[in-house]
Structure 1
Amino acid sequence: MTALKALGIWLIILVVAVANGILRESVLMPMLGLTAGLILSGMLLSVLILVITFFTLPWLQANRRSKLAGIGLFWLLLTLVFEFAFGWSQGKPLSVILDAYTFKDGNLWPVVLLVTVTSPYVAARLREICLPEH
């Protein structure tokens, strides 16, 4: 059941990520330029992933570090599979797809992936700090 819930949350993250990409391409980069647009977009997506995780974590009922780590790794795997499949479906060569995994031109995609994999654990810790149990 946890895997299905984690998949549902990841689908929400995916929708938010796609919307962030549309915002980046249509507003941020035209207004701010390539580098600033990529940086702001990466920061925004990282924060949104963490916020989504923070608010949905109780629903997952993940109360062990191993479970939190498993969810993060599951989300990372889903993200990587989606990214590579989407790139290949657009006919992009592997070298172009892998370009996104560098910090070229201010691209923060590697940071977004790090946030994705660590967000369940980080959100759990933040919940302990922000919403302590009495």
Structure 2
Amino acid sequence: MSSRTPQGTEDRPDPVRLRALRRPLAVWALMAVLAVLNGGFREVVLVSRLGHRAAHLLSTALLVAAILLVAYGFVRSTSVDYRRTELAAVGVCWTVLTVGFEFLVGYVEGTPVSVTLGQYDVLGGQVWIAVPVALLAAPLLFGHVLRR
């Protein structure tokens, strides 16, 4: 038995190291800034040229692409050897922070919760769900691909 491994812990999964989540929080802040800039670009430039629906579709695609690029850059440039559970935790944190931020902004602006929830209605033609899905999957996906 190793002096580093307490007796009986060989089969337990490693816990998430909280220090491993610090940099991903800064990365999320960068993505939040990009999302706000993307929303401004949509409203100021795209809507007048494409209309609301097409602008929303293009804006969502641009944001997903930005998220994937930033997540790729983060995983590629980090010196931390993230465990699979930590990469999953990063994705969950990014998703929870984003959805929470969206509902908070909606609340501050006086937007009814039903309107905010309506953005997730895939059967109603909404595509916004692609953003939290990208946030959730990107760290684990790129971590798995780049760390082989």
Structure 1 position 61 matched with structure 2 position 80 = yes
TM-score (norm 1): 0.86
Point out where structure 1 has 5 or more consecutive residues left out of the alignment: none
Give SS of 1:109's match: coil
Give the AA of the match of 2:101. F
Question: What displacement does 1:98 show?
Answer: 1.1
Alignment identity in percent?
33
Structure 1 position 74 matched with structure 2 position 93 = yes
Question: Could you say which structure has the greater relative contact order, defined with CA pairs below 8 angstroms and 6 or more residues apart?
Answer: 1
Give SS of 2:67's match: helix
Q: Which moved more, 1:9-18 or 1:89-98?
A: 89-98
In structure 1, how many angstroms separate the alpha carbons of the residues matched to 2:39 and 2:124? 16
**Is the 2:20–2:86 Cα contact (8 Å) retained in structure 1?**
no
In structure 2, how many angstroms separate the alpha carbons of the residues matched to 1:94 and 1:64? 36
In structure 2, how many angstroms separate the alpha carbons of the residues matched to 1:84 and 1:3? 23
- CA RMSD for the aligned pairs? 1.9
Q: Which moved more, 1:106-115 or 1:8-17?
A: 106-115
| Residues paired across the two proteins, number | 129
Point out where structure 2 has 5 or more consecutive residues left out of the alignment: 1-18
Structure 1 position 19 matched with structure 2 position 37 = yes
Residues 56-86 of structure 1, C-alpha deviations (whole Å, 9 max, x = no match): 1232625322111110001011111111111
Question: What displacement does 1:18 show?
Answer: 0.3
**CA radius of gyration, larger in:** 2
Name the structure with the higher helix share: 1
Mapping 1:94-109, distance limit 5 Å: 94-103=113-122, 107-109=126-128
